[in-house]
Chains A and B, each alone.
Chain A
């Protein structure tokens, strides 16, 4: 469905040191530096897949999405989406895709969302009957009845985001790019959005690429993740395997009937947190069984669970690794 080969996107950015003198100088002479937003990325995505793009701010996730959507021309490399070259922006291509941006909105601000839906119906040439069906479905799934008649500016962020999503799906795109669709939403709204996005993918077989800062979004939606760091691909595979690779240790979470002495915990594993009623231990995977056994026999345990390290920590460790590797490479480049 999607194929990306050696994608590079470099920007020329005008750089200026601070100060009035430098500002005046920059009027006549400008120094440009190339920013490598995306620097040689390749991957393939099969139809119907749900893939999460992960990476720190400025890693190149959004740039990659925009190249895939045809909004940015790649500096180098080949990109095809369902047989189309995105940058040509052919009508047939644009009718198949949609990009939802959590931080930008397409809804007409002063008019009710229903007017944006109607506009999109006309732009995408959606037949009346199909439009009505799709809209009825969206309205009931996202619980929009009360919202679509109110001017957009009177809606809350969460309500607006639901309508944004509906506006984006009027033409039933086969490829959906979601750029931080849950940003700023409360937890229950995030759950609603995730469930809906997953249902859309399962019902229509649409291919889905998602970027998000909320790891829960990615964990709930994407069996496969692609990690981009400083414009380069640093991981492509299942989320579970990523966690296994970066943090093979497991966490044993204990609920305790009564407070225990720290000295009792340290022999069991690395103590991550310790409070009067609970403790979290980090242990090697092969030592989980032994640790659980010992904990149950030596401590007043009322409840016990074994978990992976939180995704946030896994990611931050992965990015730290990348940073260290780059620093290392930079040192080697400098002649002794």
Chain B
């Protein structure tokens, strides 16, 4: 794979999305405001739960805010950079225009993954950062430099996992006929990531750590900021994320092989 060429391609795709975003200026305000509203609704369950007790499974209210902060930030990444392409991909399969993607002399996974970005949704990323600041001000201390560094590494792994989950969902679209609901499935799974992973018990805890690594996505970076994440976990997260991405890539390639276009 020629990295320079693909970087250039990414640039062209980003430019097209940017143009599109500028074309629909009204969307900017509407989407920005909705994102903000959702950030606050995301906090509501937290108030309810912590209204009754001071801490849950070793997490205080303000520490949990960090998890919600990561959740909100990743939601921005998801809605701005990952979901739009998912919707586009489902559309491609439904209309049979995926053929055009497969005809292009570039990696099909790259092309469908970069086809559409919604820059306005990046508002959520800022809301996430705002939550971090508020949480740490309330906690009365600041994260250490290694803690920030580790959390940035984990941001990378979280995005990789989120993206790989997305690829797995999209791959399912090749096998099931009705694919409209896949986006909902994906968002509902992701929704569980707003809680610190230790609140899940038994089989759920196992599923959310190993099958759908939500713990890795939001709880680990929050722990890193708090300086409570052991280095071994960090290494584990990186190795796990890379392995997860490799599995997703493999499933994707299998699905493409299975694909026979909508009309013969």
The chain A residues found within 8 Å of chain B, CB to CB, are 11, 35, 37, 62-63, 66, 69-73, 89, 91-92, 94-95, 97-99, 101, 104-106, 108, 110-111, 115, 118-119, 122-125, 151
Nearest chain B CB to A302 CB, angstrom units = 49
- Mark the stretch among B35-43, B63-71, B98-106, B231-239 that contacts chain A: B98-106
Q: List which B100-129 residues lie within 8 A (CB) of chain A.
A: 100, 102-106, 111
Q: Are B96 and A104 in contact (CB under 8 A)?
A: yes
Nearest chain A CB to B93 CB, angstrom units = 12
**B178: chain A residues within 8 A (beta carbon):** none
Nearest chain A CB to B111 CB, angstrom units = 8
Q: Are A72 and B20 in contact (CB under 8 A)?
A: no
Q: Are A91 and B105 in contact (CB under 8 A)?
A: yes
CA distance A195 to B204 in the complex (A): 65
Q: Are A123 and B263 in contact (CB under 8 A)?
A: no
CA distance A70 to B261 in the complex (A): 11
**B9: chain A residues within 8 A (beta carbon):** 122-123
**B99: chain A residues within 8 A (beta carbon):** 66, 69, 71, 99, 101, 104
Nearest chain A CB to B254 CB, angstrom units = 13
Residue B23 lies at the interface, judged by CB distance under 8 Å to chain A: yes
Q: What are 14 of the A-B contact pairs (CB < 8 Å)?
A: A11-B264, A66-B264, A71-B261, A72-B261, A91-B105, A94-B104, A94-B105, A97-B103, A98-B103, A115-B16, A122-B8, A123-B106, A124-B105, A151-B23
Residue B198 lies at the interface, judged by CB distance under 8 Å to chain A: no
Residue B260 lies at the interface, judged by CB distance under 8 Å to chain A: yes
Chain A minimum-CB-distance residue to B104: A123
Chain A minimum-CB-distance residue to B10: A122
Q: Are B20 and A110 in contact (CB under 8 A)?
A: yes
Q: List which B78-108 residues lie within 8 A (CB) of chain A.
A: 95-97, 99-100, 102-106
- Of A35, A110, A111, A122, the most chain B CB neighbours within 10 A belong to A122
**A71: chain B residues within 8 A (beta carbon):** 99, 102-103, 261
A105/B103 contact (C-beta < 8 A), A11-B260, A115-B16 known:
no
Q: Are B264 and A63 in contact (CB under 8 A)?
A: yes
- Contact partner, B19, options A69, A94, A97, A115, Cβ 8 Å: A115
Residue B141 lies at the interface, judged by CB distance under 8 Å to chain A: no
Given contacts A71-B102, A98-B103, A119-B13, 9 further A-B contacts (CB under 8 A): A71-B103, A72-B260, A73-B257, A101-B99, A104-B96, A110-B23, A115-B16, A122-B9, A123-B104
Q: Are B263 and A94 in contact (CB under 8 A)?
A: no
Q: Are A99 and B105 in contact (CB under 8 A)?
A: no
Q: Are B105 and A123 in contact (CB under 8 A)?
A: yes
Q: Are A122 and B97 in contact (CB under 8 A)?
A: no
Residue B5 lies at the interface, judged by CB distance under 8 Å to chain A: yes
Chain A minimum-CB-distance residue to B96: A104
**B100: chain A residues within 8 A (beta carbon):** 104, 106
**A11: chain B residues within 8 A (beta carbon):** 260, 264
- Of A70, A71, A97, the most chain B CB neighbours within 10 A belong to A71
